[in-house]
Amino acid sequence: MTKHLVMYSRTTGCPFITVAKRVLDDYGISYEEIFIDKDMDARQRVLTWTGFLSVPTLVAATDDTLLPYIEPAPLPTGASPRGINRGAMITEASADQLKDWLVQNGFLNNADRIEG
């Protein structure tokens, strides 16, 4: 199975988007960015997945889809998704949380993660 990275984002910045882009750029990881303030379907997906309009929400997707390759682990109703590794999805992660998730999903080599 081939996976690619999708980042659900918004056109106005936030600290979590800045962190995610910095990590991805530092490691040369390509991603497709979808803006939830321009794409109402994407907005609804993020709301359904997280219970909030939480960005960035990063998804390990298959082939040409924008959807997680497996169903993300559920969140308790009303719980914040911030920094929670949900398997094929992570939302509002710190740099270290994101790096660990990228290794888990095959976007980053563990040796590179340790050195970076």
Supply the CATH number for residue 16's domain: 3.40.30.10
Contact 37/11 with Cβ under 8 angstroms? Answer: yes
Instruction: Read off the tokens for 64.
Output: 């040409």
The residues facing 61 across adjacent strands are 4, 68
- The pLDDT of residue 45 is 97
pLDDT over 90, % of the chain: 85
The CA-atom distances, in angstroms, between 8 and each of 21, 60, 71, 111, 114 are 12, 11, 16, 27, 26
Domain enclosing residue 22, as ranges: 3-115
Instruction: Read off the tokens for 90.
Output: 């992570």
Contact 68/60 with Cβ under 8 angstroms? Answer: yes
Assess whether pLDDT exceeds 80 at residue 111. no
Assess whether pLDDT exceeds 70 at residue 115. no
Q: Tens digit of pLDDT for each residue in 8-29?
A: 999 998 999 999 999 999 999 9
3-state helix, strand, coil in the chain (%, to 5): 35, 20, 45
Compute, in degrees rounded to 10, the torsion defined by CA atoms 90, 92, 95, 101.
0
The model's pTM: 0.94
Q: How many domains does the chain have?
A: 1
